[in-house]
Amino acid sequence: MNRAERGLTGVWIAIGFLSLYGCSSTFPIRAYSIQIARGDPAAIPPRDISLSEYGRPMKKPYTVLGKVTTYKRGGLGAVRDLDYRSTPPEDMVERLKAPAMDMGANAVIGIYHGEYRGVNIGVEYVSGLTVQIQKEVQPGVQRTDLQVGILPVQIGKSEMGEKDYEALDRDLRAGARWFLEDKGYYAPVDPGIRFTGTVQDLEEADQAESQRLYGDETDLLLLIEVIDEQAFVPVLLDIRKVVLKTTLFSKSLGKVIWENQVINEKTTGVFWIWMNEAVTRAGAIEGVLKPLPFYSRMGTSEFVAYPPEMVKKK
């Protein structure tokens, strides 16, 4: 490489760094929060906010007040393996504190870092539960209505290669995680959860079985199903209907509180041909979860759908 070529290369590198700097400044850190409970005035006052990452057990009693998320839209985003753990950016974690203190919380727990790349969507986010640490242990289980456990994607009787299923499961659950978080839920994925079945299996599960699915503290489960018509009703032509269905199920009530589906009427070949591209999988999960409202009980026995204004986005 001669001197002129080296000089031109240096110019392009400089332009590249400036472009990256410009992109990062174009997408500021934003925060939104949702509060589902009031704090106890007798609890430890929120002089400062302590922070705890996802998977670290809390040794002190606490009450969940809500959740807070910081995020940056734009950029390329990413869809990583479900067991991938990354360190949340310090500036995004720091921005969790102000909304938490506004709720009367003195800690944010279960903090995790996520990224997502979908259809015209690139986002990086950090989410956690806002809690009030108590001086004394409160009786009963601290169940969090806004926490959703995303179950492994179900394909029923259909046959699918291991690698193809891993891509389908990863992309649909990673997409569901972001869209749930964006609605106001708290939805970290536990890749160690094992489940094979349908809504009926959830309805018929006993308390011990339900508790194994994201623990007793999580009440809501999201079941994602890819239903292939040909797997149930043989057809002569290799054209069939394939359904992507999502179901929000309450363990404590033992019933479905919301469901939706998107349909491809003319799938040819094996059923997963419909979603063999990442962008198609992203579009499908976005389409099926877009109408999902935020559900909460807030002292009532039944879940109620609340308007989007409850999620305070800034």
What are the pLDDT digits (tens) for 235-255? Answer: 555 666 788 999 999 999 999
Sheet holding 107-118, edge to edge: 50-53, 107-118, 121-133, 62-73, 30-35, 312-313
How many domains does the structure of the chain reveal? 1
**Is residue 188 pLDDT above 70, yes or no?**
yes
**Is residue 230 pLDDT above 70, yes or no?**
no
Residue 19 lies in a domain: no
DSSP state letters, 159-219: ---HHHHHHHHHHHHHHHHHHHHHHT-B----TT------HHHHHH--HHHHHHTT-TTEE
**Is residue 156 pLDDT above 80, yes or no?**
yes
User: Are the CB atoms for 196 and 128 separated by under 8 Å?
Assistant: no
- Can you tell me the distance from the alpha carbon of 113 to that of 20, in angstroms, rounded to the nearest whole number? 21
- Can you tell me the distance from the alpha carbon of 196 to that of 190, in angstroms, rounded to the nearest whole number? 15
Over range 86-98, report the average pLDDT: 93
- Can you tell me the distance from the alpha carbon of 292 to that of 260, in angstroms, rounded to the nearest whole number? 8
**Is residue 132 pLDDT above 60, yes or no?**
yes
Give me the pLDDT at residue 20, please: 33
**Is residue 29 pLDDT above 70, yes or no?**
yes
Give me the pLDDT at residue 143, please: 66
- Can you tell me the distance from the alpha carbon of 313 to that of 311, in angstroms, rounded to the nearest whole number? 6
Q: Tell me the Ramachandran region of residue 290: left when phi exceeds 0, alpha when psi lies from -120 to 50, beta otherwise.
A: alpha
Locate 131 and state its tokens. 């809690």
Give me the pLDDT at residue 5, please: 41
Residue 22 lies in a domain: no
Residue 65 lies in a domain: yes
Assign 270 a pLDDT band (cuts: 50, 70, 90): low
Question: By percentage, how much of the chain surpasses pLDDT 70?
Answer: 77
Residue 170 lies in a domain: yes
**Is residue 11 pLDDT above 80, yes or no?**
no
Domain containing 103 equals 28-313
Give me the pLDDT at residue 98, please: 93
Over range 132-161, report the average pLDDT: 80
Residue 49 lies in a domain: yes
Residue 2 lies in a domain: no
Place of tokens 């389908």: 168
Locate 71 and state its tokens. 């995020």
Residue 78 lies in a domain: yes
**Is residue 166 pLDDT above 60, yes or no?**
yes
Give me the pLDDT at residue 229, please: 65
CATH number at residue 84: 3.40.50.10070
- Can you tell me the distance from the alpha carbon of 178 to that of 40, in angstroms, rounded to the nearest whole number? 31
Residue 304 lies in a domain: yes
Give me the pLDDT at residue 6, please: 41
Give me the pLDDT at residue 246, please: 98
Assign 276 a pLDDT band (cuts: 50, 70, 90): confident
Q: Is the entire prediction scored with pTM above 0.75? A: yes
